[in-house]
């Protein structure tokens, strides 16, 4: 059976676009934005995906907004709810309602740099590798089980903008890959709170990314 997914966005929508264009075995039932001006809405419409705006400013508080959002999402009965640049903290009730079917992409190698301004913070910390993470969402922000990560080198003359662009290129590869694995039923939650990809591929383990390369 094809997996049904709903994507939530707040803005540009480039990760959503990467998902829609990846030829995934996924039925994208709807794209929902909390901002009417989100550029990603037009991209979704161009791909023939229905769009809905649920403006958080029209709701009285976080709980009311999340309830309206959940009502719309549940109309589509999705197997997976994908946060693709959705810039709102969600209530615990909402997150629990979608336990194990809510995923997010974060622009850092979690657990390093949860929250905002990840690229500037990575530069300030002097890390030599940075990247992005696809993870299940749990009530604690940016702390759920990690499904997949992509790492990029941090270069000596990087600015937050150049680093963000390098990470974003990998986000556009990583998110479709992770969603494909989810759609294929290959991602398992482990009892220790982590995840495992099945079947494990033994040959991949020697691929280290070393930075700087000298």
Bridge partner list, 130: 152
Cα→Cα distances 103→17, 114, 125, 144, Å? 16, 15, 27, 9
| Token digits of residue 93 | 């009730």
Residue 11 lies near ligand GRF (rule: CB under 6 A): yes
Residue 137 lies near ligand GRF (rule: CB under 6 A): no
Contact of 119 with 44, CB cutoff 8 Å? no
CA angle 131, 29, 4 (to 5 degrees): 70
Contact of 83 with 5, CB cutoff 8 Å? no
In the bound complex, what is the minimum distance in angstroms from residue 9's beta carbon to ligand GRF?
Answer: 6
Please select the residue that binds ligand GRF; options are 30, 73, 80, 105, rule is CB under 6 A. 105
In the bound complex, what is the minimum distance in angstroms from residue 38's beta carbon to ligand GRF?
Answer: 8
In the bound complex, what is the minimum distance in angstroms from residue 203's beta carbon to ligand GRF?
Answer: 29
**CB nearer ligand GRF, residue 37 or residue 71:** 37
Cα→Cα distances 97→29, 145, 196, Å? 19, 17, 23
Q: Any idea which residues carry the catalytic annotation?
A: 106
What residues numbered 186-205 form the site for ligand GRF, per CB under 6 A? Answer: none
In the bound complex, what is the minimum distance in angstroms from residue 197's beta carbon to ligand GRF?
Answer: 21
Contact of 129 with 156, CB cutoff 8 Å? no
What residues numbered 33-92 form the site for ligand GRF, per CB under 6 A? Answer: 40, 84-85
Residue 171 lies near ligand GRF (rule: CB under 6 A): yes
Judged by the rule CB under 6 A, the positions of this chain that interact with ligand GRF are 9, 11-15, 40, 84-85, 105-107, 132, 168, 171
């Amino acid at each position: 059976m094809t997996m049904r997914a709903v994507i939530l966005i707040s803005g540009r929508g480039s990760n959503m676009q990467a998902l829609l264009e990846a030829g995934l075995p996924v039925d994208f039932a709807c794209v929902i934005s909390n901002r009417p001006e989100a550029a990603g809405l037009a991209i979704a419409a161009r791909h023939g995906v229905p769009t809905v705006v649920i403006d958080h400013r029209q709701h009285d508080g976080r709980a009311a907004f999340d309830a309206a959002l959940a009502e719309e999402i549940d109309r589509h009965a999705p197997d997976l709810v994908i946060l693709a640049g959705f810039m709102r903290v969600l209530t615990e009730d909402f997150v629990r309602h979608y336990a194990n079917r809510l995923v997010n992409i974060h622009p850092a190698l979690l657990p390093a740099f949860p929250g905002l301004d990840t690229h500037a913070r990575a530069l300030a910390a002097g890390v030599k590798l940075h990247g992005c993470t696809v993870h299940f969402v749990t009530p604690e922000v940016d702390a759920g089980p990690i499904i997949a990560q992509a790492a990029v080198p941090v270069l000596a003359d990087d600015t937050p903008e150049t680093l963000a662009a390098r990470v974003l290129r990998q986000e556009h590869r990583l998110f479709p890959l992770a969603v494909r694995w989810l759609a294929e039923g290959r991602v398992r939650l482990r009892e220790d709170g982590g995840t495992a990809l099945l079947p494990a591929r033994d040959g991949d383990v020697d691929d280290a990314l070393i930075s700087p390369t000298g």
